[in-house]
Structure 1
């Protein structure tokens, strides 16, 4: 329709009308491009919001995992003190026997969790990190991811060292049973007097406890970093995401 009108105006040499038609075409194309850009930008912002909410829920999960681990390790921390104090003094008090055996059986154990946001990993693998428009938040995400990765590598290294110590330590006692619960029931068979006079054995326990304390400290640092990220996500969103019934 418009093309036929322009052609007719050219035939009639109505250059003013041709100019007006040209302007209409240009403006129409411009508006069409702008509308497409606005729709694309709107879709990007909706997708960004969805990713930020997913990152928030990931931080919730990670914080809960760390809290559970720290709660479990709190019992370990107390039992390790009983184990080392008993060996160093050469006296195992009857009232300490249960916590002593649980502590010795799981001495230095610290679970290694994969502390990463699935939403962030998805953005990284798809090359779409730039969808997060807030530059400071994007930089914070990268920083926290780097710290969590470093902590994980450190934990894996210490796990290997602990495994070497444990192969020596566990040869001095025999596992009988356990419900594997914090403050639960654990039974092992051992010769306390012989172990209390084995300084190399006690030194290994001390080294394992030092590694355990480092991992516990690292877990708390991870928790602080993740909470910082969670707070930043809420600030960018302008609200605290709430889980839907089917989530």
Structure 2
């Protein structure tokens, strides 16, 4: 209809009407482009918001994962420190054999760091990372995953440098078949033999030092995970539920 009217105006040389018709066409095209751009902007905003929410939820799980891991390291370190104190003082009053064994058998355990990261990996793969959050929240995410990578690298390095297999390096430690145990194996500690095994005591001291350093690196990763969670919560105006109480 607009084309037919425009043709009629040209035939009658109604230039004012032609100008108005042309202006209507241009405005219509511009409006269509504007609506399309607004729709695309809204869609992109929805995608970014969803990405932030997923990353925040994943950061909460990471904090909990690292908390549990640090707690296990600290518990084992405390039991090993107690054993070392008893060896240095030759004081065995109220000693708990199971706890001393736990301190020994956890020496040299350097598990890989494997917190949840599927949301982060998908965001990186999509090329969306630079568009989500603000500079401070993105820096916190980058710092956290750098800590995880560093911790994994150090754990792998220390595994290659370590020759501690504490169960098998001392006659004071043995294992026997025990069908009632979880893995049908029971570790036996001969305290008198351990007191006489100075070489193994030195291994315990070195291994304990390494486990303390490893615990510190896990704690650093936990601290960075907590910062990431708080920063993502700040930007999205939400809560990091594992750190912040409901308002």
TM-score per shorter chain, which class?
0.7 to 0.9
Query: What is the TM-score with the length of structure 1 in the denominator?
Result: 0.83
Deviations 1:147-173 (A, max 9, x none): 2211221122223334x222x652423
**Partners of 1:73 and 1:110 within 8 A in 2:** no
CA–CA distance in structure 1, aligned partners of residues 66 and 146 of structure 2: 17
Of the candidates 167, 170, 182, which is equivalent to residue 168 of structure 2?
170
Distance of 2:11 and 2:175 partners within structure 1: 101
Size of the alignment, in residue pairs? 235
Segment drifting more, 93-102 vs 148-157: 93-102
- Aligned-residue CA RMSD (Å): 2.6
Q: Cα offset for 1:52?
A: 1.0
Partners of 2:235 and 2:10 in 1: how far apart? 56
Instruction: Note closer, same or farther for the CA distance 1:75–1:135 as it changes in structure 2 (3 Å cut).
Output: closer
Q: 1:241: Cα distance to partner?
A: 7.4
Report matched runs for 1:54-203 at 5 Å.
Answer: 54-89=54-89, 92-93=92-93, 95-115=95-115, 117-162=117-162, 164-166=163-165, 170-172=168-170, 173-176=173-176, 179=182, 187-203=186-202
Point out the more displaced range, 107-116 or 78-87.
Answer: 107-116
- C-alpha distance in 2 between matches for 1:116 and 1:35: 39
Structure 2: distance between partners of 1:190 and 1:152: 32
Higher helix share: 1
Secondary structure of the residue aligned to 2:95 is: helix
Contact residue 116 and residue 148 of structure 1 kept, 8 A: no
Deviating above 4 A after TM superposition, structure 1's stretches of 4 or more consecutive aligned residues are: 89-94, 177-180
Deviation at 1:76, TM superposition (A): 0.5
Contact 1:73 1:216 in 2 (8 A): yes
- Structure 1, gaps ≥5 residues long: 181-185, 243-247
Instruction: Give the equivalent residue in structure 1 for 2:244.
Output: none
1:21, 1:171 → 2: CA distance?
94
